[in-house]
Amino acid sequence: MGEGKDNVASLMGTKRLADAVRQAKIAAAQRADVVVDIREADRARLEILAEELQPLIDELPPGDDLFDFTISGGMHPRLWIDGTANVIMARDRRTYRLVRETRLGRVTLVESADTRVTARHVTDYVAERIVERDKIFALSDGLNERVAENAGRQVRNGEDAPLQPEKRTRGADFVIAATWMAIGIVIGAALLLAIASYQGMSIG
């Protein structure tokens, strides 16, 4: 009798374990379905944003390798803008989040549930990146040095030389000297008259 009870208990324990394993498999499958559904929903929203950004993509020069605009797969789909910036969906699955990967970690640049608003911020980001790239090219293309060199060559050749003050002729110098002399004579005569008048008043 004791052995029969032990066998029954063993079978019941095995059955319970099998049931538990089966329930765990079902739960895992359901969670996987949920994850797949979430991933597909995120990807669909990112595709909508990519369509909103299509005019911007069309304006970029062909073969521009600075920007990407591709949607990557994985557990968390993301729309890549360039090598560091991308758009992901927030936890609520409705909010777009423009982030940038840096050495110090991920930085959130903007969040919005509006596709158009997000597209406008992405456009501003692309414009800033283009300006930054142009500044870097300006520092390394040697144009500043060539312009300075050409300006120096023109000055040495007499082209665009700085203006020099015009030289006065001898006649002009004589006129100026005579004018100052006349002014001196008038002032001297006035002083003499004033002194004479003062002395005459003193004698009287």
Would 72 be classed as within a structural domain?
yes
Residue 103 domain flag: yes
Q: Packing angle between helix 2-52 and helix 115-140, nearest 10 degrees?
A: 70
Could you tell me if residue 19 is inside a domain?
no
Please report whether residue 152 resides in a domain: no
Please give the pLDDT value at position 147: 63
- How large is the average pLDDT for residues 29-43? 74
Which long-range CB contacts under 8 A does 38-44 form with residues at least 24 apart? Answer: 38/93, 39/75, 39/76, 39/77, 41/93, 42/76, 42/77, 42/88, 42/89, 42/93, 43/71, 43/73, 43/77
For residues 15 and 155, give the distance between their C-alpha atoms in angstroms, rounded to a whole number.
100
- Which residue range is the domain that position 98 belongs to? 48-145
* pLDDT exceeds cutoff 60 at 44: yes
- The DSSP secondary structure of 175-198, one letter per residue, reads HHHHHHHHHHHHHHHHHHHHHHHH
* Domain assignment present for 59: yes
77-97: average pLDDT: 93
How many structural domains are present in the chain? 1
Q: Is residue 69 part of a domain?
A: yes
CA–CA separation, 101 vs 87, rounded Å? 11
Q: Does residue 30 belong to any structural domain of this protein?
A: no
Distance, in Å, from the CA atom of 3 to the CA atom of 9, rounded to the nearest integer, reads 10
Distance of CA 181 to the CA centre of its chain: 69
* pLDDT tens per residue, range 137-189: 887 666 666 666 666 666 666 555 455 555 666 777 777 878 888 888 888 77
Q: Is residue 193 part of a domain?
A: no
Read off the pLDDT of residues 60-79 as tens digits, 9 standing for 90 and up. Answer: 988 888 898 999 988 889 99
Q: Percent of the chain scored above 70 by pLDDT?
A: 69
